[in-house]
Structure 1
Amino acid sequence: MGVMKPVRSMLFVPGNKSDWIEKAITSNADALILDLEDSVPPDLKVEARGIVQSKLAWLAQRGQRIFVRINRSPHLYDFDDIVAVVGQHVEGIVISKPCGPEDVDCVSMMLSEAEYRNGVRLGSTRVIPLLETARALELAYEIATHERVGAIVGATAKNADVARALGYVWTPDGRESLYFKSRAVMAARAAGKLAIGGVWQQVRDLEGLRKSSLLDRNLGMTGELALHPSNVTTINEVYSPSPEQVAYYEGMIAALDEAQVNGRASTIYDGEHIDIAHVKTAREIVALAKSFNA
C-alpha cells in the first residue's frame, strides 16, 4: 500500500451529529475520524452509521481525508459498520482496544470482504489501531507491521482505557506515559508507519495542549488525535516545521552543497558540525513542510 500520507491532526467527530460533521471541515484538520463508537449513544448507533455513510461523498468532494472509527463487541468488530463505510471516499478505519495483532488480522479479512462487496480495490482501506490494552502496547511492533496498518496510536487520556489497562495515574507533564509512548514511536518507525499521539481532554486549556503536543512531537510522534475543533490549529502548528526551521534547514543544505563543491563531506554551519547525515534530516523536514503547505 505504500507509506501513509503524513497527518498532523485527526479530529474526532460524533457520527450522529450531521451538522458537526459539516462544520468540521472548517477546522483545517488533516483528517476527520467520524466516530461510530464511544461518542455515540448506544440507541443512536444505527442512525449514526447512516448519517456517516450519507456524508462521505460530500466530505470527499471538499478534499477532506476521512477515517471512521467502528464499533466492536467483546469478540468481533462490527461488520455492518465496515460494509456501510468502506469505499472510495474512506481512507481507513480506526479500531479501538485491539488485544493484539490477531485483531488486526481479523478486521483485515472483514475489510477484504467489504471491499469485494463494494467494488473497491482489495487492500485499499487502511487500519489505524488505538493501542489501548496492555497486550497491544506490548505487541506494538507486531501490530504495526501488518500491511494494512498505516499508523498506530499511542495516546493517553485521563481516566480512559489506557490508564485503566496500565494502572497509571495521569499527570500534566506526562512522565508516567513516556515509556509506552516511546515504545509506540519505536514500533511505528521500525515498521515504516506513522506514530500518532495525543489525546488532550482539557480542550479549553490551549497552553496545556501546546505543552502536551510538544512533548509528543519531541518523542517522535508525527501527529495526534484531537477532540475539539478549537485544538486543531495548535496541533497543526506544533507538528509543522516553522518558517524559521525551514529557513535554517535550507541554509544547512546550501552550506553542505558548497562544502561538497570544494571536496568536503562536512562543514561548520551556524556554529555546529554538519555532514551528509544532518542534511538528509534537513531535506526530510523541508519536504514535509512543503507537503503541508501544499
Structure 2
Amino acid sequence: MDHAARPYRSVLYIPGSKDRALDKARTLAVDAIIFDLEDAVTPDEKANARTLLAATLKEGGYGPRAKVVRINGLDSDWWREDVAAFVGADIDAILIPKVGSAADVQAVADLIPDVPLWAMMETPQGVLNAAEIAAHPRMTCFIMGTNDLVKELKCRTRADRMPLLASLQMCLVAARANGIAAVDGVYNAFKDEDGLRVECEQGRDMGFDGKTLIHPAQVAIANAAFAPTQAEIELAHRQIEAFDAAEAAGQGVAVVDGKIVENLHIVTARETLAKAAAIAELEGK
C-alpha cells in the first residue's frame, strides 16, 4: 500500500488494560487502533497494562489495521518504561501525549529507533509549535486532542467548534506543510450518530484524514465520511480523461461539468483514486 495514501478514516482508542477490548479490536473495521496506556488506564494499572499490551501485540491478529501505542506523558513516571516495552515490537507508531515542542519528540526518538512517531496536539504550546513538531524527521501524524484543548483554552464546547477552529487549522497547516497525516479529535456523545456525522463532515471538509473515536459504534460513520464517494471517484476519472485529451490536443486546460480543470485538479483527482484504492485494499476488496 502506498504509505502516503494509507487511510486513517477511523482511529479507535482502546484501553491497554482491558483484555476483552483488546481482543474485540481484532474484528473491528477500523483503519487504525490507538492502544492507550495514558488516559484510559488508572495509575495502579499502568504497569499491568503495559505488560498485557506488549504480550497481546506479540500474539498479533490485527491484520492490516495500523497499531499505535499511546504512552504516558513525558511529565509522568511511566513513559520511559512504556517506550522500552515496545522496542522491537510489531507496531506502526508510538503516540506521544501533550507534545509541546520538537524536543519532546526527540526525547522519545532517542529511546526507540526506526518506529514512526505521532503527536497528540492538545496544548496551546503544542499548537503554537506545530510547525517545528511536524517538521521532526520521525513525525508522521498529528492527532488532535480536542478535549484537552477545550480545557486548556478555557473555551466552551459548541456544535460548530468555532472556539477550536484556529487551533485545528494551525495543526492541519503544519501537518500538510510537512507531508504528514492529521486526524481530528473525538466526538464525546457516542450515541449521537447525527452529531458525529456532522462533525466528521466538518473535519473532512477542513482537510483531516479521519477521526479519532472512543466507541466501536462510531466506526461506520467515520469510515463513510472520510472515504471518497462514488460520485467523487467517477468525477476524478472524468477529469483525468478530459485533461489527458486536452493535453494531447496541445491545450493545458480542460472543461468538465462546466468547470475548468487544470493540472492542480488532476493532482487532487489522482489522490482521490489512490485513497479509494488504498481503502479497497485495506478492506480486502
Q: Which runs of 4+ in 1 moved over 4 A?
A: none
Aligned to 1:114: none
Larger deviation: 85-94 or 220-229?
A: 85-94
2:192 aligned with 1:202 = no
2:186 aligned with 1:185 = no
Q: CA deviation at 1:36?
A: 0.7
Q: CA deviation at 1:88?
A: 4.1
Q: 1:127 aligns with which of 117, 141, 144?
A: 117
Aligned to 1:117: none
Q: 2:265 aligns with which of 278, 282, 290?
A: 278
Q: Deviations over 1:128-161 (max 9, x none)?
A: 111111111100010011111111123423xxx2
Larger deviation: 180-189 or 91-100?
A: 91-100
Q: Secondary structure at the match of 2:95?
A: strand
Amino acid at match of 1:266: V
Give the TM-score normalised by the residue count of structure 2: 0.93
Aligned to 1:265: 252
Give the TM-score normalised by the residue count of structure 1: 0.90
Residue 264 and residue 77 in structure 1: after superposition, are their counterparts in 2 closer, same or farther (change >3 A)?
farther
Distance in 1 (alpha carbons) for counterparts of 2:236 and 2:125:
40
Distance in 1 (alpha carbons) for counterparts of 2:40 and 2:183:
20
Contact 1:4 1:193 in 2 (8 A): no
**How do residues 99-178 of structure 1 correspond to structure 2 at under 5 angstroms?**
99-111=100-112, 122=113, 124-157=114-147, 161-178=148-165
Q: Secondary structure at the match of 2:122?
A: coil
Aligned to 2:199: 212
Aligned to 2:60: 59
Larger deviation: 49-58 or 138-147?
A: 49-58
Residue 283 and residue 8 in structure 1: after superposition, are their counterparts in 2 closer, same or farther (change >3 A)?
same
Contact 2:5 2:275 in 1 (8 A): no
Contact 1:222 1:239 in 2 (8 A): yes
Aligned to 1:223: 210
Q: Secondary structure at the match of 1:153?
A: strand
Q: Secondary structure at the match of 1:110?
A: coil
Aligned to 2:12: 11
Q: CA deviation at 1:41?
A: 1.5
Q: Secondary structure at the match of 1:16?
A: coil
Amino acid at match of 1:289: A
Contact 1:27 1:230 in 2 (8 A): no
Q: Secondary structure at the match of 1:147?
A: coil
Q: CA deviation at 1:199?
A: 1.1
**How do residues 7-46 of structure 1 correspond to structure 2 at under 5 angstroms?**
7-46=8-47
Q: Deviations over 1:41-81 (max 9, x none)?
A: 21111111111011113335633321111113526761111
Residue 142 and residue 77 in structure 1: after superposition, are their counterparts in 2 closer, same or farther (change >3 A)?
farther
2:71 aligned with 1:70 = yes
Unmatched 5+ residue regions in structure 2? none
Q: 1:232 aligns with which of 216, 219, 226?
A: 219
Contact 1:4 1:194 in 2 (8 A): no
Distance in 2 (alpha carbons) for counterparts of 1:192 and 1:73:
25
Distance in 2 (alpha carbons) for counterparts of 1:223 and 1:70:
21
Residue 3 and residue 286 in structure 1: after superposition, are their counterparts in 2 closer, same or farther (change >3 A)?
closer
Distance in 1 (alpha carbons) for counterparts of 2:260 and 2:65:
42
Contact 1:77 1:107 in 2 (8 A): no
Distance in 1 (alpha carbons) for counterparts of 2:219 and 2:230:
19
Q: CA deviation at 1:4?
A: 8.2
Unmatched 5+ residue regions in structure 1? 112-121
Amino acid at match of 1:144: A
